[in-house]
Amino acid sequence: MAEAPVVPVYCTGVSAQVQRERAKALGLGRHENAVRYQGQDFAALRDACLRSGSLFRDDAFPPAPASLGFKELGPGSSKTRGVQWMRPTVSKPSVFSVFILKNTHFLILGPLPSLFATQELCSRPQFIVDGATRTDICQGALGDCWLLAAIASLTLNETILHRVVPHGQSFQHGYAGIFHFQIWQFGEWLDVVVDDYLPTKDGKLLFVHSAEGTEFWSALLEKAYAKVNGCYEALSGGSTSEGFEDFTGGVTEWYDLRKPPRDLYQIILKALERGSLLGCSIDITSAFDMEAVTFKKLVKGHAYSVTGARQINYRGQALDLIRMRNPWGEVEWTGPWSDNSSEWNAVEPALRQQLMVKMEDGEFWMAFRDFLREFTRLEICNLTPDALQSRKFRKWNTRLYDGTWRRGSTAGGCRNYPATFWINPQFKIQLEEVDDDGDEAGGREPGCSFLLALMQKHRRRERRYGKDMETIGFAVYEVPPELAGQSGVHLKRDFFLANASRARSEQFINLREVSTRFRLPPGEYIVVPSTFEPNKEGDFVLRVFSEKRADTEEMDDKIQATLPDEKVLSESEIDANFKQLFKQLAGPDMEISVTELQTILNRIIGKHKDLRTKGFSIESCRSMVNLMDKDGNGKLGLVEFNVLWNRIRNYLAVFRKFDLDKSGSMSAYEMRMALEAAGYKLNKKLHELIITRYAEPDLAIDFDNFVCCLVRLETMFRERRFPAKKPQFGQLSPRNNRV
- 379: pLDDT confidence band, cut at 50, 70 and 90? confident
Residues 229, 234: Cα–Cα separation, whole Å: 6
Q: What are phi and psi for residue 455, nearest 5 degrees?
A: -125, 130
Q: What is the average per-residue pLDDT within 185-208?
A: 92
Per-residue pLDDT tens digits for 591-605: 899 998 898 888 888
Residues 252, 516: Cα–Cα separation, whole Å: 9
**For position 114, what pLDDT does the model report?**
30
**For position 154, what pLDDT does the model report?**
79
| Cross-strand pairs, 578 | none
Q: What is the average per-residue pLDDT within 138-165?
A: 81
Q: What are phi and psi for residue 520, nearest 5 degrees?
A: -125, 155
| Cross-strand pairs, 84 | 97, 200
**For position 44, what pLDDT does the model report?**
96
What phi-psi label fits residue 335: left (phi over 0), alpha (psi between -120 and 50 degrees) or beta? Answer: beta
360 has a pLDDT exceeding 50:
yes
Greatest mean pLDDT among 218-222, 294-298, 445-449:
218-222
Q: What is the average per-residue pLDDT within 9-30?
A: 65
Q: What is the average per-residue pLDDT within 468-472?
A: 94
Per-residue pLDDT tens digits for 34-78: 999 999 999 999 999 999 999 999 999 999 999 999 988 888 888
92 has a pLDDT exceeding 70:
no
Q: What is the average per-residue pLDDT within 188-216?
A: 90
DSSP 334-353: -STTSTT-GGGGGS-HHHHH
| Dihedral sign for Cα atoms in the order 170, 174, 180, 181 | negative
| Cross-strand pairs, 517 | 451
Return the number of other C-beta atoms located less than 10 Å from residue 661's C-beta.
10
**For position 29, what pLDDT does the model report?**
84
Answer for the pair 487, 429: CB distance below 8 angstroms, yes or no: no
Which letter does DSSP use for residue 79 in this model?
G
Does domain 397-437+444-556 bear CATH number 2.60.120.380? yes
Q: What is the average per-residue pLDDT within 321-336?
A: 82
What phi-psi label fits residue 698: left (phi over 0), alpha (psi between -120 and 50 degrees) or beta? Answer: alpha
Q: Which residue spans within 174-224 are E strands per DSSP? A: 178-185, 188-195, 198-201, 204-205
DSSP H or E segment with residue 674: helix 668-677
- Please state, rounded to an integer, the average pLDDT across all residues of the chain: 83
Q: What is the average per-residue pLDDT within 512-533?
A: 94
**For position 202, what pLDDT does the model report?**
85
**For position 105, what pLDDT does the model report?**
40
* High-pLDDT (> 90) share of the chain, %: 37
Residues 121, 132: Cα–Cα separation, whole Å: 20
Does domain 572-721 bear CATH number 1.10.238.10? yes
Q: Are strands 188-195 and 35-36 parallel, antiparallel or unpaired?
A: parallel
Q: Which of 91-95, 101-105, 330-334, 674-678 has the lowest mean pLDDT?
A: 101-105
Residues 47, 533: Cα–Cα separation, whole Å: 51
- 357: pLDDT confidence band, cut at 50, 70 and 90? low
Tell which CATH classification among 3.20.20.140, 3.60.10.10, 3.90.70.10, 3.40.50.970 matches the domain 251-387.
3.90.70.10
Which letter does DSSP use for residue 479 in this model?
P
**For position 2, what pLDDT does the model report?**
43
Residues 215, 124: Cα–Cα separation, whole Å: 9
Pick from 658, 454, 457, 422: nearest CA to 534: 422
**For position 100, what pLDDT does the model report?**
34
Q: What contacts 507, CB < 8 A, 6 or more positions away? A: 473, 514
Q: Which of 371-385, 502-516, 691-705 has the lowest mean pLDDT?
A: 371-385
Residues 134, 577: Cα–Cα separation, whole Å: 90
**For position 6, what pLDDT does the model report?**
36
Q: What are phi and psi for residue 252, nearest 5 degrees?
A: -105, 135
Higher pLDDT among residues 599 and 23, named by residue: 599
| Cross-strand pairs, 431 | 523, 550
Greatest mean pLDDT among 82-91, 104-113, 216-225:
216-225
Q: What is the average per-residue pLDDT within 240-257?
A: 89
727 has a pLDDT exceeding 50:
no
**For position 41, what pLDDT does the model report?**
96
How many Cα atoms occupy the beta-carbon half-sphere of 41 within 13 Å? 12
Q: Are strands 426-431 and 503-504 parallel, antiparallel or unpaired?
A: unpaired
Residues 109, 650: Cα–Cα separation, whole Å: 71
Per-residue pLDDT tens digits for 674-712: 999 999 999 989 999 999 999 999 899 999 899 999 988
**For position 477, what pLDDT does the model report?**
97
What phi-psi label fits residue 630: left (phi over 0), alpha (psi between -120 and 50 degrees) or beta? Answer: alpha
110 has a pLDDT exceeding 60:
no
**For position 350, what pLDDT does the model report?**
85
How would you class 712 by CB atoms within 10 Å of its CB: exposed for 0-12, middle for 13-18, buried for 19 or more? buried
Residues 646, 160: Cα–Cα separation, whole Å: 68
Residues 145, 163: Cα–Cα separation, whole Å: 21
Helix axes 684-694, 668-677, angle to 10 degrees: 120
**For position 737, what pLDDT does the model report?**
35
- 111: pLDDT confidence band, cut at 50, 70 and 90? very low
Q: What is the average per-residue pLDDT within 150-167?
A: 85
- 458: pLDDT confidence band, cut at 50, 70 and 90? very high
Per-residue pLDDT tens digits for 612-639: 888 888 988 898 888 888 778 888 888 8
* DSSP-H helix ranges across 438-524: 493-498
Pick from 250, 267, 184: nearest CA to 384: 250
Q: What is the average per-residue pLDDT within 537-549?
A: 91
Active-site positions? 145, 302, 326
570 has a pLDDT exceeding 60:
yes
**For position 115, what pLDDT does the model report?**
26
DSSP 682-720: --HHHHHHHHHHH--TTS-B-HHHHHHHHHHHHHHHHHH
What phi-psi label fits residue 291: left (phi over 0), alpha (psi between -120 and 50 degrees) or beta? Answer: left
**For position 17, what pLDDT does the model report?**
63
Q: Which of 117-131, 255-269, 290-304, 436-450 has the lowest mean pLDDT?
A: 436-450
